[in-house]
Amino acid sequence: MTPHMQNTSTHETEFAHRIGTDKNGRALYQYVDGWTLIGCDYTYDEDGNYVVTDEPDMRQLALDPTPLTDRDWDEIRAQLYQAQAEILLARGTRQEIIGWLCWNDRNGIYRDHDLLEEGQSPLTLEECREILARQCAG
């Protein structure tokens, strides 16, 4: 799972820029002033870059690979789901969010033509974001 960066004042999010690994095989991500790493635990290296501490040691996994269990895959899916939703909330277009809402809730009515057929107005971008946030929260 790729960590994200979040602007500390605007809360805008972007993918973090990986710059390599440290001597212990842990992922290094570039420090950017005014931004913080989200989605993982980290410390700092001697140059001030982020060292991700909750990723597995990739060298150890290569030497002793452990197959992923169904529970592992469920956790990966949940992390991807949350990361995608966070990105859409931060900078998704109305159409992108509507597409995600339709995918996530196949019984919901989100598309303009479906809403109009039901006598309702099309969703605004803000309404789309509110629905997305509610669906991710519970």
The reply to whether 14 and 37 lie within a common domain is yes
The reply to whether 33 and 56 lie within a common domain is yes
Question: What is the total count of domains within the chain?
Answer: 2
The reply to whether 43 and 97 lie within a common domain is no
The pLDDT score that the predictor gives to residue 93 is 92
Q: pTM, whole model, 2 decimals?
A: 0.48
Question: Alpha carbon of 121 to those of 25, 113, 114: distances in Å?
Answer: 53, 9, 10
The reply to whether 83 and 124 lie within a common domain is yes
The pLDDT score that the predictor gives to residue 7 is 83
The pLDDT score that the predictor gives to residue 122 is 96
The reply to whether 132 and 74 lie within a common domain is yes
Question: Containing domain of residue 26, as a range?
Answer: 4-63
The reply to whether 76 and 127 lie within a common domain is yes
In the chain (138 residues long), the average pLDDT of successive 10-residue segments reads 77 82 83 81 84 60 61 81 85 91 91 95 95 85
The reply to whether 74 and 19 lie within a common domain is no
The pLDDT score that the predictor gives to residue 55 is 55
Long-range (24+ apart) CB contacts under 8 A made by 94-101 are 94/123, 94/124, 94/125, 94/128, 97/125, 97/128, 97/129, 97/132, 98/123, 98/128, 100/132, 101/128, 101/131, 101/132, 101/135
The pLDDT score that the predictor gives to residue 15 is 80
The reply to whether 52 and 102 lie within a common domain is no
